């Protein structure tokens, strides 16, 4: 069995009444959906769909102990990952497009999601990691409530694309332990072109401030496992060094120099990119020079907790600054 959590997840202290109020508040939003920054206004309860392309029935593509996540999440036994189908982002390079864009997954209820969370905990996973959670926030909060009542006691990870609304994030206060947004864009044109996410930068900045207000910098226990806080990913894209630098400057200057950042190097051209000439500018991998320029910027702006690809950085062992 894994070591027992050294701190109590926030949701343990939420009363039944407070959980019910949050669930009802969020569920009402399905009726004129504004759960994400698209604010489509469609009635998903009546079967209408917006940009994310799904009504109110969540679909799950898989749930398993993920051993490829950050060390602070996977530990020895894996991060208890629950992959939701569909997504509120429409990234043309998505490596999981069959799930995110084509909806591959099985329909489930909140009770069934709660059972998956408990099953992952029983397997020894160190957390429950909801991937692409935003468009089904109401069901997920209900699932957390149900699982809590049946003994869930590991942290909740909100593994999202960053195209959130701070108003909705506020409703997760005290329920989510670890926010893990992949902050993709600071440049508006790129956000529209590659992810169909207008006003991404203003929305993600506001949402990050709210996430950090709730949970603060990432806390790691004596076993090296994340217990709460903000963990930011940034997937560096080819020819987007300036975009990345602006993201990192914002984190250092307006969130915290202690922000835990994972600077991802694994971009590959997927989905539409290899076959659509409009995206030929990103039809190749990131170069070491691009990666090193961004890593150097992380150092220069004072970020102190950066997980990075040592091979791409031209270094041998360290994966941390500071
Ligand atoms: S969750 Fe889906 S329907 Fe709702 S606002 Fe976002 S994209 Fe539109």
Q: Is 166 in the pocket of ligand 1 (CB under 6 A)?
A: no
Q: Is 36 in the pocket of ligand 1 (CB under 6 A)?
A: yes
Asked whether the predicted pLDDT for residue 228 surpasses 60, the reply is yes
The rounded mean pLDDT for the chain is: 95
Asked whether the predicted pLDDT for residue 21 surpasses 90, the reply is yes
The number of the ligand 1 atom at minimal distance from the alpha carbon of 50 is: 3
What spacing in Å lies between the alpha carbon of 262 and ligand 1's midpoint?
Answer: 27
| Distance, CA of 298 to CA of 249 (rounded, Å) | 8
What is the per-residue pLDDT for 42? 98
Q: pLDDT tens digit string along 144-159?
A: 999 999 999 999 999 9
Q: Is 269 in the pocket of ligand 1 (CB under 6 A)?
A: no
313 in Cβ contact with 291 (< 8 Å): yes
Band the pLDDT of 320: cuts 50, 70, 90. Answer: low
What spacing in Å lies between the alpha carbon of 50 and ligand 1's midpoint?
Answer: 5
What is the per-residue pLDDT for 3? 52
What is the per-residue pLDDT for 215? 98
Q: Is 48 in the pocket of ligand 1 (CB under 6 A)?
A: no
User: 92-114 burial by CB neighbour count: b if 16+ within 10 A, else e?
Assistant: bbbebbebbbeebbeebebeebb
What spacing in Å lies between the alpha carbon of 163 and ligand 1's midpoint?
Answer: 10
| Distance, CA of 12 to CA of 144 (rounded, Å) | 10
Q: Is 255 in the pocket of ligand 1 (CB under 6 A)?
A: no
Q: How far is CA 4 from CA 8, 76, 117, 177, 219, in A?
A: 10, 13, 16, 16, 16
Q: Is 88 in the pocket of ligand 1 (CB under 6 A)?
A: yes
What is the per-residue pLDDT for 29? 97
Q: Angle at the Cα of 290 (from 286 to 295), degrees rounded to 5?
A: 115
Band the pLDDT of 7: cuts 50, 70, 90. Answer: confident
Band the pLDDT of 322: cuts 50, 70, 90. Answer: low
Asked whether the predicted pLDDT for residue 317 surpasses 80, the reply is no
Q: Is 115 in the pocket of ligand 1 (CB under 6 A)?
A: no
311 in Cβ contact with 286 (< 8 Å): no
Which sequence spans correspond to the domains of the chain?
10-313
Distance from the Cα of residue 269 to its chain's centroid? 21
| Distance, CA of 231 to CA of 283 (rounded, Å) | 28
> What is the pLDDT averaged over residues 31-54?
98
Q: Which residue has the tokens 């990119």?
A: 273
Q: For the domain bounded by 10-313, which CATH number is listed? A: 3.20.20.70
What is the per-residue pLDDT for 315? 86
User: 27-61 burial by CB neighbour count: b if 16+ within 10 A, else e?
Assistant: bebbeebbbbbbebebbbeeeeebbbbbbbebbbb
Residue having the nearest C-alpha atom to atom 4 of ligand 1: 33
What is the per-residue pLDDT for 319? 65
The number of the ligand 1 atom at minimal distance from the alpha carbon of 36 is: 6
Q: pLDDT tens digit string along 274-301?
A: 999 999 999 999 999 999 999 999 999 9
Q: pLDDT tens digit string along 249-271?
A: 999 999 999 999 999 999 999 99
Q: How far is CA 48 from CA 42, 56, 97, 121, 317, in A?
A: 6, 9, 22, 35, 51
What spacing in Å lies between the alpha carbon of 79 and ligand 1's midpoint?
Answer: 27
270 in Cβ contact with 93 (< 8 Å): yes
DSSP category for residue 253:
I
Q: Is 38 in the pocket of ligand 1 (CB under 6 A)?
A: yes
DSSP category for residue 93:
T
| Distance, CA of 226 to CA of 5 (rounded, Å) | 10
| Distance, CA of 133 to CA of 123 (rounded, Å) | 22
What spacing in Å lies between the alpha carbon of 120 and ligand 1's midpoint?
Answer: 28
> What is the pLDDT averaged over residues 51-57?
97
What spacing in Å lies between the alpha carbon of 33 and ligand 1's midpoint?
Answer: 6
The number of the ligand 1 atom at minimal distance from the alpha carbon of 134 is: 1
- State the pairing for strand pair 59-66/106-107: antiparallel
Instruction: Tell me the helix, strand and coil percentages in the chain, rounded to 5.
Output: 40, 15, 45
| Distance, CA of 201 to CA of 245 (rounded, Å) | 13
What is the per-residue pLDDT for 35? 98
Q: Is 197 in the pocket of ligand 1 (CB under 6 A)?
A: no
Q: Is 178 in the pocket of ligand 1 (CB under 6 A)?
A: no
- Total residue count of the chain as it appears in this document: 322
**Pick from 164-173, 195-204, 296-305, 312-321: least confident:** 312-321
Band the pLDDT of 101: cuts 50, 70, 90. Answer: confident
What is the per-residue pLDDT for 238? 97
């Amino acid at each position: 069995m894994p070591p027992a959590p050294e701190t109590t997840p926030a949701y343990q202290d939420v009363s039944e009444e407070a959980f019910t109020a949050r669930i009802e508040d969020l569920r009402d939003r399905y009726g004129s959906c504004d759960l994400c920054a698209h604010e489509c206004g469609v009635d998903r309860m009546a079967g209408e769909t917006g940009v994310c392309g799904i009504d109110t029935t969540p679909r799950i593509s898989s749930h398993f102990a993920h051993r490829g996540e950050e060390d602070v999440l996977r530990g020895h036994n894996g991060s208890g990952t629950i992959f939701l189908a569909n997504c509120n982002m429409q990234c043309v390079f998505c490596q999981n497009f069959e799930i995110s864009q084509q909806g591959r997954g099985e329909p489930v209820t909140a009770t069934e999601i709660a059972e998956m969370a408990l099953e992952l905990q029983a397997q020894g996973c160190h957390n429950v990691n909801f991937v692409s959670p935003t468009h089904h926030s109401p069901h997920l909060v209900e699932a957390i409530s149900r699982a809590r009542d049946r003994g869930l006691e590991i942290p909740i990870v909100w593994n999202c694309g960053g195209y959130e609304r701070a108003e909705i994030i506020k409703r997760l206060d005290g329920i989510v332990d670890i926010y893990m947004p992949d902050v993709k864009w600071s440049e508006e044109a790129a956000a529209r072109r590659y992810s169909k996410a207008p006003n991404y930068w203003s929305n993600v900045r506001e949402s990050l401030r709210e996430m950090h207000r709730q949970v603060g910098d990432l806390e790691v226990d004596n076993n090296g496992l994340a217990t709460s806080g903000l963990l930011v990913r940034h997937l560096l894209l080819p020819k987007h060094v300036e975009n990345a630098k602006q993201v990192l400057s914002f984190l250092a200057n307006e969130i915290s120099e202690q922000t835990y950042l994972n600077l991802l190097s694994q971009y590959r051209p997927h989905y539409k990119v290899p076959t659509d000439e409009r995206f030929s500018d990103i039809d190749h991998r990131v170069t070491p020079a691009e990666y090193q320029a961004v890593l150097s910027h992380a150092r220069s702006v004072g970020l102190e907790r950066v997980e990075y690809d040592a091979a791409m950085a031209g270094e041998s062992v360290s994966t941390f600054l500071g």
